[in-house]
Structure 1
Amino acid sequence: MRRFVYCKVVLTTSLVWVLVDAFLLLYFSECNKCDDRKDRSLLPALRAVISRSHEGPGEMGKAVNIAKDNQEKMKELFKINQFNLMASDMIALNRSLPDVRLDGCKTKVYADDLPTTSIVIVFHNEAWSTLLRTVHSVISRSPRHLLVEIVLVDDASERDFLKKKLEGYVRTLEVPVKILRMEQRSGLIRARLRGAAATTGQVITFLDAHCECTEGWLEPLLARIKEDRTAVVCPIIDVISDETFEYMAGSDMTYGGFNWKLNFRWYPVPQREMDRRKGDRTLPVRTPTMAGGLFSIDKMYFEEIGSYDPGMDIWGGENLEMSFRIWQCGGSLEIVTCSHVGHVFRKATPYSFPGGTGQVINKNNRRLAEVWMDEFKDFFYIISPGVMRVDYGDVSSRKALREALKCKPFAWYLENIYPDSQIPRRYYSLGEIRNVETNQCVDNMGRKENEKVGFFNCHGMGGNQVFSYTADKEIRTDDLCLDVSRLNGPVVMLKCHHMKGNQMFEYDAERLTLLHVNSNQCLDMPSEEDKMVPTLRDCNGSRSQQWLLRNMTLSI
């Protein structure tokens, strides 16, 4: 009898699950045709079940490879957003990801009373799958009591699915999602200002529209701000491949810098920063600059310190402007190594900027140079002479902000925050290096690292003929230094290492010679074998070994 009852229970339970499965299959097969209201409300739940299986495309951050017979279609779709849209659309909106944190981060315990945050995401014609995957990753990997809301700012998108369809979808989510619409294309900077003004959390967290947050990403950011409200904190930015959407962990051994052209660059974390943290890689890294797309900041501090420069257009330069301002005006900028957020890095932008990309970025960079860089702005102007013709508008209010906040000079920033900057703090000359015999100039010829330095007619226009002879006795062009590793050359350009050695030249202002200390030879005009490359020869006092180091003057 007991056996009969047991069999009835098993059969009944099995029948119920079969009916539930059949209902779900019918429901969601129909849902492909339905509108964006409550009809889709169970869709995230189904996707969660699929995602937890770790078996779908892209699960656990694995690469999605498109079959050969779909390659042409994939390439066409790639052009829309400059990433593999076909691969992205195959991946669940809440796919699983590996836990890429350091072991020491996984055992950290955070206080229950961390500040709350609002997430601000600006988008313009973003793909449905990448935008919603960003949103889902925030919701599913953030403690609910810390996440007040998500604010989506639409910077005048033209795609229909980003209108009512998106509004209907986000209404089904368990976290409040606001959608703000810019009336006309305004750019990242002004759209973020609009989004920030609408937030109600204690902290504003800015993310890009093609990100994925990982397990434990939020708590360490908020914990650092709880310790110090003037700390502006960034996660480690992991790489999501634009071609396969593979998730690849970023390094905790790099931090943000910049070159003479005011391009943001990643550089190795210096030993002095490792020493400051006593070798504990789970502690935040003090970074001179930030990439700018992903960071958290106390909302009141964001407003006190001047938010963004509203005179900047669209995108570009705002990250360096904010970085300089934070450090010079008493705050700190840090990479919290226990927080990881993935970002799709594209090789090209799919969007056009009014006036052209170069014009917009030059205007923004000139504004930040005029307000924050003092005399060191000359490095930017001399190597990028075309920027001098750009109208950068009125910066009087930003200069007044700097004065009101009692901000420190840029020299202090270079001395204390970025002593290994590509811009030398002390230098003998900034301009051309002219050969007395030939009246020609050393020229980097636009060449890259590990290539020979060039020699060309002097044109007096800066750019490729700008070199700085520094107090450390380097001959530097941007982040490259002249380097000679053997007798008689060749003279190549290598990353400046600040260790003298092969990059140390002594300039004799009376004899006008540049002595390469390691080889005890002098820089000389090119040989007959290669008339476009200066060389080294034994010092002989000839005019061909005499060089004029001239400071360029700027006409503003």
Structure 2
Amino acid sequence: MAKENVSYKRRQIVRCATLFLVPLLLLLLRWEAAAVVTALLLSCVAAAFTLFARPSRISRIPFIWRLLVFYVVQLQVCRGVIWIHNNTTLFGPIFNNSSAKEEGANNFAAGGQALAGGFLYQPKISVVLPCANEGEFMVKTVKSVNEATPANILQEVVVVDDGSTPPLNTLLTEEEQKELKIKWVRHSSFTGLINAKSKGAAAATGDIIIFLDCHVKPAEDWFNPIVKQIRTNYKRVVVPTITNLDPDTWEEHRTGSGMAKCYLTWDADFKWFTDEDKYVPIMSGGLLAMSRRWWNETGGYDTRMIGWGGENIDQSLRIWLCGGEIVNAPDSYVAHMWRVASNPKTRPRYTVPGGAVVTNRYRAASAWFDEWLEKLETFPAFSGFKTGAMAKPDISNILEIKENLKCKPFAWFLYRFRALYFDAGLVPRQVFHLKDDISGMCLEARGSTNIVLTPCSDTSKGQLWHRGNRDGNKCCSGFRNWNTDQCLSGSGIGQDVSTNVCSTYGEFYDQWIKLEQNQLKLYSSNPRARRTGCIGTPREKGAHVSIEDCGTSGFRQSFRVDPRHKGIVEVESGECLTASGDHFELLPCEVDPETGRVFGEQSITLAKLSSGRFQLKAAEIGDAPLCADSSSGTKLVLYTCYNPKMRNYNQEWTFSDTSSELGSPIKFGESKCMSVQAGVKTTREVHYANCVMNGGIPKAGQKLVKDVADSDDGEFSLRDGGWCLDVDDDGHVQMASCSSSPSQRWRSDEGEGASRLINVQTSSCLQADRSGEVTVASCSEQFDASQRWSIGDDGGSLRGGVADQCLDYKPVRTAKLSVVSCPSAKSIKWSIYEPFEPLETRLYREAEQKYPSLLNGQAFHTDAPEGEIVEV
């Protein structure tokens, strides 16, 4: 009996010992302390139950089956503790799994999903710092990393001293180096950032390698979001959120949400951007974290790159196309000191070999761009590789990795980020000019602050535009200058048009501009960001209209309503009352060719009041109508119109004779009248230039309509809207506001198959000589060539003179564009001109045919507003 008792006790001790195998295993595998403690407590409870519980039905089950069930429950409870603490996957696989293959991509590496295969235990991190002559910053960075990272997480800080003088290890004592966990890699001379980071990664022993610049300060708990992301997917590369670091105070300045994401441009460069998800198309390259296993599998950096630049393009594309993914850890903040030319302290203390950046970028593109390498070679910096002027690099080392990892084609990258490349217009359906059909000129960007209307050119890159940026979830909200990062921008009426760095996500409302009914209109989908106005050219400054005592000498005070174009005209000058800002001016009447009426600032209506007087209302210049306001008879201004039911005498005017040729004053009260200083008149110089036709119609400034007088004397005027051909006192020909003056009356004299145009006031003939001057001169008896002219009765160019050219009062000149009221902008009629499908788009369409299962979706949106897309 005694022997049986001894045997039973030994058996129980052995059974209890097996209950503690899981805590021991978790400790050896370096699981988190919380999981190990939990497993130990569960083992203690199970051991106590085994030793002291009374026999039951459970005890009849073979111990080995009970033990296995206990192990499973114990592991799941421990993983639950880790999930609660770290938000890792609760029921994911315990051991590393092979990646699930993506449907339709059987011949390529899987990627872009939250792949399984992380760490069972708390991984250790190695921080790699490439440093070149940054002694002071190196010391501060190493200390900052140690202060922000727990000792049980930080395996080491690998400092790569890339040829610094003096050596960086002389700046810290051996005791400090040990305390700060520094591992040194020393180069006797400068080898470049790419090589330094590669050597640092080779020396790292941690489970996760985190590359940082040698001038950063991580924030508290910076490591935790990074580790959480990689723990569940060893192929996931993580970039922190980058903020600003003051190099003098070593303090972080966190403005906005920080920076983390870049996108790839067609010249193998990268631009910063923001959007709504965590995935990062391209890393900036300085700050990133990845598992050592994935670093080794992907081959690290391209060791044949020189110095700096392009390695982030290569690495980002390699990760995405070969089965991995890149994400941002938004709660991981690392402050970074930016290079600022004005601050000598921030300048780099090394030089990059000439041409290295261009060659590196071309290497990356050669390896990963596939057919799109042709697009890269259209940029001047890379055209030498195509012509043979620059030697093409050997990329066999990258192609070997590409083959081993069964990487996807570049087209998949574009499709994976179609919300950026297609919805934001980086792969545009078409590229085109924005042309004014009236003047025949095109919109051109000449630097970010100089957007002009200028003659169209097939060679001007500043004239090539495409639709870009997102409008909600689809393309597009504005216009992007092709092959640049600049988008058309306008903030409001009265402001110059400019370009700014494109907001691909569409968050900058200044870039929300649409082509609608031949106008480039500012708009916004946000009701709180109401935007009005159109892109056009501002009106010229005219004669100021004031309020003076009626009958004051030196002022003209008679107005009438023109029966044809309905503008309020000052009788003597024939110019129209024009709303301009907060006041009125007189300017030549501009007539909408479609309606035959004045528009915009000159569309001023007479709203009759119950008192019999009028409100002079400008209804087309803003969100709400503005009215002529007398300021109690002291000053004529434009002011918000009052409700007619609530009488306001400052906006009540008397206009007794609106229709006769003589007109009448526009009076406030009995003694104040709208007034224009005598002698002020707006004119435009007439030039002698080559005749230009657009679609069979003379260009703006050359089209003149023959307006025959009611009398039978054969006289006529030559007009364009409210402008008429006029002769000044010195015999110079000009354009002026149409009036009944004989200086604007002409008659023709037929003879020898040609016509002479005789001015009624001067009895002289219109003449243009070889000097290009347009005048009137004594009529030649021989019908001199300089006085021969022809014009169609239904309107056309006035053609003739010694060189058989045309009169032109709007010569083709570069005009700066600004935001004006949309009615005023009707003087420009925008249209898409010479559209074509760009190379990058054609290549993608071909790729859709080549990889139908991989690119299984319609990348291009087809629901664009009518009139904005021209099929080519």
The partner residue of 1:122 within 122, 125, 130 is 130
Cα distance change of structure 1 residues 147 and 188 upon mapping to structure 2, 3 Å threshold? same
For residues 256 and 149 of structure 2, the distance between their equivalents in structure 1, rounded to whole angstroms, comes to: 22
Deviates further, 414-423 or 204-213: 414-423
Structure 2 residue 545 is the aligned partner of structure 1 residue 549: no
Aligned-residue Cα RMSD (Å) equals 4.3
Q: 1:388 is matched by which residue type in structure 2?
A: S
Please report how far the alpha carbon of residue 302 of structure 1 lies from its aligned counterpart in structure 2 after TM superposition: 0.8
After superposition, what is the alpha-carbon deviation per residue over 1:97-117, rounded to whole angstroms, capped at 9, x for unaligned?
xxxxxxxxxx96589931112
Q: Is the 8 A contact 2:143 2:180 kept in 1?
A: no
Q: Is the 8 A contact 2:455 2:814 kept in 1?
A: no
Residue of structure 2 in register with 1:353 after alignment: 351
Structure 2 residue 504 is the aligned partner of structure 1 residue 504: no
Q: Is the 8 A contact 1:440 1:458 kept in 2?
A: no
The partner residue of 1:143 within 141, 144, 150 is 150
For residues 441 and 475 of structure 1, the distance between their equivalents in structure 2, rounded to whole angstroms, comes to: 14
Please report how far the alpha carbon of residue 178 of structure 1 lies from its aligned counterpart in structure 2 after TM superposition: 1.9
The partner residue of 1:299 within 289, 292, 313 is 292
For residues 438 and 378 of structure 1, the distance between their equivalents in structure 2, rounded to whole angstroms, comes to: 36
Q: Is the 8 A contact 2:157 2:183 kept in 1?
A: yes
Structure 2 residue 209 is the aligned partner of structure 1 residue 216: no
Q: 1:247 is matched by which residue type in structure 2?
A: E
Mapping for residues 87-486 of structure 1, pairs under 5 Å:
113-126=121-134, 128-157=135-164, 159-160=165-166, 162-163=167-168, 165-166=170-171, 168-169=173-174, 172-242=177-247, 244-249=249-254, 251-252=256-257, 254-258=259-263, 259-270=265-276, 273=277, 285-348=278-341, 349-356=347-354, 359-376=355-372, 380-382=376-378, 384-389=379-384, 391=391, 393-417=393-417, 419-421=419-421, 424=425, 426-430=427-431, 442-447=443-448, 452=451, 455=454, 458=457, 460=459, 464=462, 466-468=464-466, 472=476, 475-477=479-481, 478-482=484-488
For residues 485 and 251 of structure 1, the distance between their equivalents in structure 2, rounded to whole angstroms, comes to: 22
Q: 1:446 is matched by which residue type in structure 2?
A: G
Q: 2:351 is matched by which residue type in structure 1?
A: F
- What SS is found at the alignment partner of 2:383? helix
Cα distance change of structure 1 residues 218 and 438 upon mapping to structure 2, 3 Å threshold? same
For residues 496 and 152 of structure 1, the distance between their equivalents in structure 2, rounded to whole angstroms, comes to: 38
Q: Is the 8 A contact 2:305 2:360 kept in 1?
A: yes
Higher relative contact order (CA 8 A, sep 6+): 1
Q: Is the 8 A contact 2:243 2:336 kept in 1?
A: yes
For residues 403 and 215 of structure 1, the distance between their equivalents in structure 2, rounded to whole angstroms, comes to: 41
For residues 359 and 438 of structure 2, the distance between their equivalents in structure 1, rounded to whole angstroms, comes to: 40
Compare the two structures and name the one with the higher helix fraction: 1
The TM-score with structure 1 as length reference comes to 0.63
Q: Is the 8 A contact 1:434 1:458 kept in 2?
A: no
Cα distance change of structure 1 residues 142 and 517 upon mapping to structure 2, 3 Å threshold? closer
Runs of at least 5 residues in structure 2 that lack an aligned partner in the other structure: 1-83, 89-119, 342-346, 385-389, 469-474, 523-532, 538-693, 701-809, 841-872
Q: Is the 8 A contact 2:157 2:182 kept in 1?
A: yes
For residues 132 and 247 of structure 1, the distance between their equivalents in structure 2, rounded to whole angstroms, comes to: 17
Please report how far the alpha carbon of residue 489 of structure 1 lies from its aligned counterpart in structure 2 after TM superposition: 10
For residues 243 and 439 of structure 1, the distance between their equivalents in structure 2, rounded to whole angstroms, comes to: 56
For residues 184 and 138 of structure 2, the distance between their equivalents in structure 1, rounded to whole angstroms, comes to: 13
- What SS is found at the alignment partner of 1:209? coil
For residues 498 and 113 of structure 1, the distance between their equivalents in structure 2, rounded to whole angstroms, comes to: 39
Cα distance change of structure 1 residues 170 and 320 upon mapping to structure 2, 3 Å threshold? farther
For residues 512 and 210 of structure 2, the distance between their equivalents in structure 1, rounded to whole angstroms, comes to: 45
For residues 505 and 197 of structure 1, the distance between their equivalents in structure 2, rounded to whole angstroms, comes to: 55
Structure 2 residue 821 is the aligned partner of structure 1 residue 531: no
Q: Is the 8 A contact 2:425 2:467 kept in 1?
A: no
Please report how far the alpha carbon of residue 305 of structure 1 lies from its aligned counterpart in structure 2 after TM superposition: 1.8
Please report how far the alpha carbon of residue 261 of structure 1 lies from its aligned counterpart in structure 2 after TM superposition: 4.7
- What SS is found at the alignment partner of 2:419? coil
Deviates further, 236-245 or 109-118: 109-118
Q: 2:336 is matched by which residue type in structure 1?
A: H
Q: 1:188 is matched by which residue type in structure 2?
A: L
Percent identity between matched residues is 26
Cα distance change of structure 1 residues 496 and 354 upon mapping to structure 2, 3 Å threshold? closer
Cα distance change of structure 1 residues 250 and 202 upon mapping to structure 2, 3 Å threshold? farther
Cα distance change of structure 1 residues 497 and 332 upon mapping to structure 2, 3 Å threshold? closer
Residue of structure 2 in register with 1:74 after alignment: none
Residue of structure 2 in register with 1:98 after alignment: none
Matched residue count: 418
Please report how far the alpha carbon of residue 215 of structure 1 lies from its aligned counterpart in structure 2 after TM superposition: 1.8
Q: Is the 8 A contact 1:436 1:546 kept in 2?
A: no
Q: Is the 8 A contact 2:451 2:497 kept in 1?
A: yes
Please report how far the alpha carbon of residue 433 of structure 1 lies from its aligned counterpart in structure 2 after TM superposition: 7.0
The TM-score with structure 2 as length reference comes to 0.42
- What SS is found at the alignment partner of 2:420? coil
Q: 1:198 is matched by which residue type in structure 2?
A: A
Q: 2:329 is matched by which residue type in structure 1?
A: V
Q: Is the 8 A contact 1:236 1:250 kept in 2?
A: no
Q: 2:127 is matched by which residue type in structure 1?
A: I
After superposition, what is the alpha-carbon deviation per residue over 1:150-207, rounded to whole angstroms, capped at 9, x for unaligned?
21111112x22x3551464466432542211224322111111111111111111111
For residues 435 and 397 of structure 1, the distance between their equivalents in structure 2, rounded to whole angstroms, comes to: 52
Please report how far the alpha carbon of residue 385 of structure 1 lies from its aligned counterpart in structure 2 after TM superposition: 1.7
For residues 377 and 435 of structure 2, the distance between their equivalents in structure 1, rounded to whole angstroms, comes to: 20
